[in-house]
Amino acid sequence: MGFYKPVLASLTLALVSGVLIASPVTGNSASSQHTLYVSAIDWCPQICPTTPDKPGYLVEMIDDLFRESEFQLDFEYVPWSRAIYRVKTGQTDALLSPSKEEAPDLRYHLEPLSYQTHCFWKLKDSDWHFKGLESLTSKPFVIYRDHSYVSFFASGKVPINSDHYFEISYDERYIPRAIQLLEAKRANTFIFTVNSVIFYQQMQKRQPLVVDECIKRDELWFALSPKPSHKIDAIQAHLDTSLGSYKKTERYRALLNKYNVILPALYNERPHTENDR
């Protein structure tokens, strides 16, 4: 997984010799273009600010969608809570890439960019197994802040109180901090998106973790500022007319394959034996 830097220069995306790269913003390439300011996080393999040759499949999607438009992309990479706030208050135009539950006050286009699947991860030698929400009451587990996990757990029949989990702010340290809690035996498991943990282990060249069960699937969006403006109207109109057809292209499928994006089944989508319950 790439690492978030507290201060990163804004980047604009360009296609050079068939390779998508990031380069410093020096101004619009054409007077007819308008800058589309995007707040994002370091979240490989979806968004990878430190690897310009492989910037993340969502970043490549957005670049594809806006390459022939009136907009030039300008990315900033900040912590998740700040990214949501900056788009909500109109300081930037768009957020890549929340679920609607994470940023309910933002503005959304007609169909999602993609999906994320949230899974429990545990150490390889752990005998813990998710068998329903009651599995989460024996020892604390780990979640990241500014996601709707708490609401999700509240919807179940088994009460999950705040003393049942560690809540950590999301940045590039979330996965290693969660692993430390597991290795110190302070927690049984942590929740995170499946493709990101797979990517992290590949980059670290060590695989202490295995996936247990996946419990939640969210749509991912290019969420827009709720502040009224003709610019935001034009961005949404462009997405509404281009995204659906783009997702039917070979290019879209090739991106998912390039980044090894998977979409595993959820716990409640498959049959279980009595030993699983």
- Residue 168 predicted with pLDDT over 50: yes
- Considering just the CA atoms, what is the radius of gyration of the chain in Å? 19
CA 106, 260, 60: angle at the middle one, nearest 5?
50
- pLDDT tens for 110-158 read 999 999 999 999 999 999 999 988 899 888 999 988 787 877 887 776 6
Q: Which domains does the chain have, with CATH numbers?
A: 11-113+221-258 (3.40.190.10), 115-218 (3.40.190.10)
CA distance 173 to 2: 10
In this predicted structure, what is the pLDDT of residue 272? 60
In this predicted structure, what is the pLDDT of residue 174? 93
**pLDDT band for position 273 (50/70/90)?**
low
C-alpha 49, offset from chain centre: 13
In this predicted structure, what is the pLDDT of residue 172? 83
In this predicted structure, what is the pLDDT of residue 3? 35
Which among 11, 93, 110 is positioned nearest to 56, based on CA atoms? 11
Which among 32, 42, 94, 87 is positioned nearest to 63, based on CA atoms? 94
C-beta separation of 97 from 48 below 8 A: no
- Residue 227 predicted with pLDDT over 70: yes
Looking at every residue in the chain, the average pLDDT score rounds to 86
Which among 192, 193, 212, 209 is positioned nearest to 201, based on CA atoms? 209
Letter for the amino acid at 36? L
Please state whether the predicted TM-score (pTM) of the whole model is above 0.85: no
Question: Which two three-digit tokens encode residue 203?
Answer: 């980059």
Average pLDDT over residues 169-185: 93
For 181-227, give the DSSP string: HHHTTS-S-EEEEHHHHHHHHHHHT---EEEEEEEEEEEE-EEE--S
C-beta separation of 48 from 105 below 8 A: no
CA distance 129 to 120: 9
CA distance 226 to 223: 9
C-beta separation of 20 from 57 below 8 A: no
In this predicted structure, what is the pLDDT of residue 7? 36
In this predicted structure, what is the pLDDT of residue 32? 61
In this predicted structure, what is the pLDDT of residue 25? 39
- pLDDT tens for 37-52 read 999 999 999 999 999 9
**57-66 and 250-258 are packed helices; what angle lies between their axes, rounded to 10 degrees?**
160
- pLDDT tens for 79-121 read 899 999 999 999 999 999 999 999 999 999 999 999 999 999 9
Q: How many CA atoms lie within 13 A of 74 on its CB side?
A: 18
CA distance 130 to 109: 35
In this predicted structure, what is the pLDDT of residue 29? 44
- pLDDT tens for 1-13 read 333 333 333 444 4
In this predicted structure, what is the pLDDT of residue 256? 95
Average pLDDT over residues 185-197: 96
For 128-184, give the DSSP string: ----SGGGGSSS-EEEETTSTHHHHHHTSSS---GGGEEEE--STTHHHHHHHHHHT
- Residue 162 predicted with pLDDT over 90: no
**pLDDT band for position 274 (50/70/90)?**
low
Place of tokens 């390039």: 258
